[in-house]
Chains A and B, each alone.
Chain A
Amino acid sequence: MVDCNNFYASCERIFQPQLEGKPIAILSNNDGCVIARSNEAKALGLPMGAPAFKYKHFFKTHQVRVFSSNYPLYGDMSGRIMSVLKQFTPKVEVYSIDEAFLQFEGFDRYDLSQYGMDIKKRVRKWTGMPVSIGVAPSKALAKVANKIAKKFSDKTQGVYVIDSDEKRIKALKWTKIEDVWGIGNKHSKRLQLQNVHTAYDFTQLPDAWVRKEMSVVGLRLKKDLEGEATLLLEEGASSKKAIATTRSFDKNVTQLADLKERVSTFASLCAEKLRRQQSSCHLIYVFVRSNPFQKNQPQYRNGQMITLPFATHSSLRLSQSAVKVVEKLYRPGIQYKKAGVIVMGLVPSRERQLDLFSEENPKHDALMQAIDSVHKKYGRHKIKIANQNLRRTFAMKQAHLSPQYTTHIDDIIRIK
């Protein structure tokens, strides 16, 4: 598991190195509230979600550098980092804008700690991003290892490997139950009543109890923490920072039209999930891959992230964007076995500008349908115009926006 250290703040620091060691806060779109903090800002006691207007004085007295969120920059930096990671293994699962799982097989003879260090160094050198790396036999344990790598960076230098049972048990005893990957608030409270306070306590529960109380998902998590990899790549608990819809196909897909249809559906499902939890997303990542078990077939896997012009939970916009990406990713002659859509850079919808697709609108579904039929009848650009007009009417407040250093030619750094 590779996780960027204070991703948003670090993106800003790469282009303003003088901010190294200084407190940084990133605001949600429209400069509403704090959505990311550097370690220094956390140490000052600045809470997550703090409303910006209430903390004006705090920012000033503690000399906190405040930024509006710059998703074109964050999206591009994330894409660069993920590409570098793919050079180490083709099996990379982009888990959120700043996290990825890398799967290594047949690496038993490698010094994994050294290998992790190489990954960390290359990402830092090439992109400027500091990362922490946790290595373990399963995903849930890799998450735990990552936390240790980050928390005790002086000792671990940002890389921690769980490669023995002693290390595993020690790590699990150190991990509080509420911090375990995939254990929600509800479950952690219930487990605490059962006297389960650490991840280790959780692994000591009888399988039958876990299965009964937390279903098969809970049981698989338990196995994962025991070091038996049961959560496969592209599976597992959903991140708070991303929503994914990924599916393996019953039959291999070879045609672009079919692939577009699937991906468009996945994007709509992501949009529904977003609306259900009243979130909107800034970034969309689409991936496709062939079946690695069909060794006689040409193998291909690829993914790409794009930044949306503004945060959205509209099925229409997300589908369109996903289709655009898949058109780029598609290579003829490949039998596609799996595809997925992951939306990232999530923000609460109420932070978002009011638009046609807001959840409160009871006519939402009818409206979507109406738009779809307009779309069919009069062509795509009609809807695009409506969207663009909307965007113009509700200009975003971004008083502290940093330049788009990597995506806009007029915004590149200036050097004396």
Chain B
Amino acid sequence: MKKREPSGGLHFYTPDPEEATEQWLAEEGVSAGFPSPADDFKEVRISLDKTLIKNKEATFYARVDGESMIEAGLDDGDLLVIDRSLEPQDGKIAVCFIDGNFTVKRLKVTATEVMLMPENKNYKPILVTEDNELLIWGIVTFVVKAV
């Protein structure tokens, strides 16, 4: 999909036929009287894969288990889209592996320290020290949730 310039706070999307994977089927029978006027508007279906996956080789999924990031909109049971190819940066939400456990937190990177910030006031930030074994596994790019 190609994103057009934002207009009045809304983003408009136009399908890119080159990226098309799915096509509308013409469903009305051949022998039926008038052709459907909708036939002129056959378009390429929106593909969530195309929208959510920028780099398919490096994209993995995970499910949120717990509420430590609830204020960032990551609820228990939500599906995370993770792109491993992105560089970890200050302010990004990352899937980290620290001291034997997976955790999802917002990265806070300063000149002197790295912190893993929860977004729930009942949880404490984790200051990463030399004693911790930290692996930044991937960067969260989208959250998919059931409503």
- Residues of B within 8 Å of A18, CB to CB, are 97, 100
Contact B104 A415 (CB under 8 A): yes
User: 1/0 per position for B98-112, CB-CB distance to A under 8 A?
Assistant: 001111100000000
Segment among B2-10, B26-34, B37-45, B63-71 that sits at the interface with chain A = B63-71
Contact A413 B57 (CB under 8 A): no
Contact of A415 among B56, B58, B80 (CB under 8 A): B80
User: 1/0 per position for A270-298, CB-CB distance to B under 8 A?
Assistant: 00000000000000000000000000000
A65 CB, min distance to chain B CBs, angstroms: 14
Segment among A47-55, A123-131, A185-193 that sits at the interface with chain B = A123-131
Contact B101 A416 (CB under 8 A): yes
- Residues of A within 8 Å of B61, CB to CB, are 406, 409, 412
* Known pairs A412-B63, A415-B95; A126 contacts B58 (CB<8 A): yes
Contact A415 B102 (CB under 8 A): yes
Dominant secondary structure of chain A at its interface with chain B: helix
Contact of B102 among A80, A81, A125, A414 (CB under 8 A): A414
A72 CB, min distance to chain B CBs, angstroms: 14
A94 CB, min distance to chain B CBs, angstroms: 15
Distance A176 CA – B135 CA, assembled complex (angstroms) = 39
Contact B103 A127 (CB under 8 A): no
Distance A406 CA – B65 CA, assembled complex (angstroms) = 18
- Chain A residue nearest to B61 in the complex (CB): A412
- Chain A residue nearest to B83 in the complex (CB): A126
Contact B84 A128 (CB under 8 A): yes
Distance A128 CA – B64 CA, assembled complex (angstroms) = 21
- Residues of B within 8 Å of A17, CB to CB, are 97, 135, 137
Contact of B64 among A83, A126, A127, A415 (CB under 8 A): A415
- Residues of B within 8 Å of A413, CB to CB, are 60, 62-63, 102
A300 beta carbon closer than 8 Å to chain B = no
- Residues of B within 8 Å of A128, CB to CB, are 84, 137
* Known pairs A17-B137, A413-B63, A415-B95; A126 contacts B57 (CB<8 A): yes
Distance A414 CA – B80 CA, assembled complex (angstroms) = 10
Distance A377 CA – B135 CA, assembled complex (angstroms) = 58
The total of chain A residues at the interface (CB under 8 A) is 18
Distance A414 CA – B55 CA, assembled complex (angstroms) = 21
Contact A415 B62 (CB under 8 A): yes
B85 beta carbon closer than 8 Å to chain A = yes
Contact of B60 among A81, A405, A414 (CB under 8 A): A405
The total of chain B residues at the interface (CB under 8 A) is 25
A84 beta carbon closer than 8 Å to chain B = yes
Contact A416 B62 (CB under 8 A): no
User: 1/0 per position for B78-101, CB-CB distance to A under 8 A?
Assistant: 011000110000000001010011
B99 CB, min distance to chain A CBs, angstroms: 9
A84 CB, min distance to chain B CBs, angstroms: 5
Contact of B62 among A81, A84, A127, A414 (CB under 8 A): A414
- Residues of B within 8 Å of A80, CB to CB, are 57-58
Dominant secondary structure of chain B at its interface with chain A: strand
Distance A234 CA – B61 CA, assembled complex (angstroms) = 34
- Residues of B within 8 Å of A125, CB to CB, are 58, 84-85
Segment 380-416 of A: residues with Cβ below 8 Å from B: 405-406, 409, 412-416
- Chain A residue nearest to B95 in the complex (CB): A415
Distance A409 CA – B80 CA, assembled complex (angstroms) = 11
Q: Which of A81, A83, A126, A415 counts the most B-chain CB atoms under 10 A from its CB?
A: A415
- Residues of A within 8 Å of B80, CB to CB, are 415
Contact A127 B58 (CB under 8 A): yes
- Residues of B within 8 Å of A81, CB to CB, are 57
Contact of A412 among B62, B66, B68, B84 (CB under 8 A): B62
- Residues of B within 8 Å of A83, CB to CB, are 56-57
- Chain B residue nearest to A416 in the complex (CB): B66
- Residues of B within 8 Å of A406, CB to CB, are 60-61
- Chain B residue nearest to A83 in the complex (CB): B57
- Residues of A within 8 Å of B62, CB to CB, are 412-415
Distance A413 CA – B102 CA, assembled complex (angstroms) = 9
* Known pairs A17-B135, A17-B137, A128-B84; A416 contacts B65 (CB<8 A): yes
- Chain B residue nearest to A123 in the complex (CB): B57
B13 CB, min distance to chain A CBs, angstroms: 25
- Chain B residue nearest to A413 in the complex (CB): B62
- Residues of B within 8 Å of A127, CB to CB, are 57-58, 84
Distance A84 CA – B62 CA, assembled complex (angstroms) = 22
B138 CB, min distance to chain A CBs, angstroms: 9
Contact A84 B137 (CB under 8 A): no
Distance A84 CA – B85 CA, assembled complex (angstroms) = 11
* Known pairs A17-B97, A405-B60; A416 contacts B104 (CB<8 A): yes
Other A-B pairs beyond A125-B84, A409-B61, A413-B63, 6, CB < 8 Å: A17-B97, A405-B60, A412-B60, A412-B79, A413-B60, A416-B66
Sample 15 A-B pairs with CB under 8 A, ordered by A number. A17-B97, A17-B137, A125-B84, A126-B58, A126-B85, A413-B62, A414-B65, A414-B102, A415-B62, A415-B64, A415-B80, A415-B104, A416-B65, A416-B102, A416-B103
